[in-house]
Amino acid sequence: MVAEEDEVAELKRRLAELEAAPKAAPPPPLNAKKNGCLTAVVLVGGFIAIVAAIGSAGDNDTSSSGDLLSITGLSATGAELAKDPTDGWIYNSDVDKMTDKTTRTACVVSVNQVRLDWPYKAVNAQLCLRNSPQFGRDAYVSLMGDGQVMCRSYDGCTVKVRFDDGAQQDFSASSSSDGSSNVFFIDNRARLETGLKSASRTLVQAEFYQAGVQSMEFNTAGLKWPDTPK
């Protein structure tokens, strides 16, 4: 009997010690480390995506003057690169390495686009005056991309030009000698140049293949011609 009482007392003592001992912290969930890694991956991935998006937005910015100038094939001074190519004339000179003679151009880019159907797309146009030792003094309008102007080589065409709010005028035009379909030359360069020098806005209307008759608008104020590029 005494032995049983001693065993009971011993069991109670051990139970009291167990209850008095500090409880161990519960084990962490099995996916805690994985979740932490996933969170880090998500955060890092999101940061990379944001940086990539910002870089992509900068690369795809097509409104810069430099990009538009590269499309037109024009070279210009630093001051001209800083301005909007649709806002005024851009002067350029090119020396022929064979003859050492200089061709000078003054070009302005349209503020609107010519809307062309597939397989073409909407494009700006540029109106240029050119002094060339080879081709003389001429004027032309060219699309800054593919397209077809309805101005046939064998009979030419007529385009309409309007300087500011004046009456529209008819100008004879002709196609390019190399067969390019996205450019036409305006005859009577002297009359055109006189109008351009007095107009802040000039409209040129022509017909395009399967796209009808459309007008191209140019900011033509401040023409200085001939101009010697710096």
- pLDDT at residue number 71: 35
Residue (of 103, 115, 205, 216) closest to 151 by Cα position: 205
Report pLDDT digits (tens) over 195-230: 999 999 999 999 999 899 999 999 999 998 765 443
Residue 53: predicted pLDDT: 41
Q: Is the pLDDT of residue 50 over 80?
A: no
| pLDDT for the residue numbered 121 | 93
Q: What is the 3-state secondary structure (H, E, C) of the chain?
A: CHHHHHHHHHHHHHHHHHHHCCCCCCCCCCCHHHHHHHHHHHHHHHHHHHHHHHHHHHHCCCCCHHHHHHHHCCCCCHHHHCCCCCECCEEEEEECCCCCCEEEEEEEECCCCECCCCCCCCECEEEEEEEECCCEEEEEEEECCCCCECCECCCEEEEEEEECCCCCEEEEEEECCCCCCCEEEECCHHHHHHHHHHCCEEEEEEEECCCEEEEEEEECCCCCCCCCCC
Mean pLDDT of 113-137: 94
Rounded to two decimals, what is the model's pTM? 0.63
pLDDT band at 13; cut points 50, 70, 90 = confident
What is the rounded distance in angstroms from the CA atom of residue 166 to the CA atom of residue 217?
A: 14
* pLDDT in the model for residue 4: 64
Class of domain 65-219: mainly beta
Q: Check residue 9 and give its pLDDT.
A: 73
- CB neighbour burial string for 178-199, b if at least 16 within 10 angstroms, e if fewer: eeebbbbbbbebeebeebbeeb
Residue 126 in this model has a pLDDT that exceeds 80: yes
Q: Each residue of 59-85: pLDDT tens digit? A: 443 333 333 333 334 444 444 444 566
Average confidence (pLDDT) over 146-164: 90
Note the pLDDT of residue 142: 96
Report how far residue 140's alpha carbon sits from residue 176's, in angstroms, rounded to the nearest whole number.
9
pLDDT tens-digit profile of 167-191? 999 999 999 888 899 999 999 999 9
What is the pLDDT averaged over residues 40-65?
Answer: 39
Q: What is the pLDDT of residue 168?
A: 97
Annotated domain spans of the chain: 32-61, 65-219
